[in-house]
Every structure is written in structure tokens, then in C-alpha cells.
Amino acid sequence: MEQLFQKQILPISLDEAWDFFSSPRNLDEITPEDLGFRIVSCAEGEMYEGQIITYKIGIAPGLSVSWVTEIKAVEERKAFVDEQRFGPYRFWHHRHHFEEVANGVEMTDLVHWALPFEPFTWPVKVFFVKPKVDRIFQHRRQILEERFGRA
């Protein structure tokens, strides 16, 4: 199982952070364009426990797959968890945590993930998927700084 841990402080209010991140429709804005990421289905309105969201995402040039996630837990203005139900991973669990700090909001991502058919997919994981996951979150960090500023 792989783990990604990232913290970022944004110079915005907790309400502003929650409004942005708790809307699944904003994922498109913070995902690298070359992934061909698009939301296929998502209920309108506020995020809620049990919400199912379906996406298409590119896993290789010219090859996209469906990715279905469920919002498993919501702690209003504090945290939420999304988990993959169907998609490219054997396991995907992503906890988003928000905490008000002196100069804004500290946003923490903790992702645990694994590929199917490990250890046979080890080379794919090491040379392709892990760098791609890291790049997605680096891109996200950059886009959020451009949108909200740097603390």
C-alpha cells in the first residue's frame, strides 16, 4: 500500500476552503488537463455521505477508464473522505482535512492507494502510477496557490 501525505496552508477562511473543496465539481479545475478528467455524474448541491461520483480519467494516451468514488464521511468544515468503488486502483482512500490556522487554513491530504495484481504490477506502480499520483498532487498545490495565493 502506498501513502501520499501533503499539507498546504492557504490564505483563505475555513468557510471559503470548505465551500471550494466540498464541491466535487471543482476537481476538474485542480486536476492536470492532460489526464482528460471529466465528471460523468454527480448530484447537484452540497456533498453528502454516501454520494456517488462517476468520472472518466485518462490512464494512458488514448485510454480512459471510469472511476467511481463514494463520499464515505463528512465532518462539516473539518474533513471528508472519498473512496474508490470501481476504477483503476485496487484500493483508494483519500482523507481531506481542514484546520484554521493563524494565516489561513491548513489543508491536509492523506491518500492510501494500491494497484490491482500486486506484486506483478510493481514496475507499473514504480515507474508510471506513483510518479503520476505525485504529479497530480504537485499540480493541485500549484493551482491552489495561483487561485488563492500563498500563505
Are 14 and 124 within 8 A, CB to CB?
no
Determine phi and psi for 75, rounding to 5 degrees: -115, 100
The range of the structural domain enclosing residue 35 comes to 2-148
What would the grid cell of residue 90 be? 485496487
Q: For residue 148, what is its C-alpha cell?
A: 488563492
pLDDT digits over 61-82, tens only? 888 999 999 999 999 999 999 9
Cell 485510454 sits on residue: 63
- Quick one: average pLDDT of 36-43? 89
What is the residue whose three cell numbers read 473522505?
Answer: 81
- Candidates 26, 24, 30; CA nearest to 138 is 30
Query: Over the stretch 102-146, which tens digit does the pLDDT of each residue have?
Result: 999 999 999 999 999 988 999 999 999 999 999 999 999 999 999
**Predicted model pTM:** 0.93
| Domain containing residue 64: CATH number | 3.30.530.20
Number of domains in the chain: 1
Identify the band that residue 25 occupies on the pLDDT scale cut at 50, 70 and 90: confident
CA dihedral 31, 33, 38, 44 (to 10 degrees): 50
**Which 3 state secondary structure label does DSSP give 4?**
strand
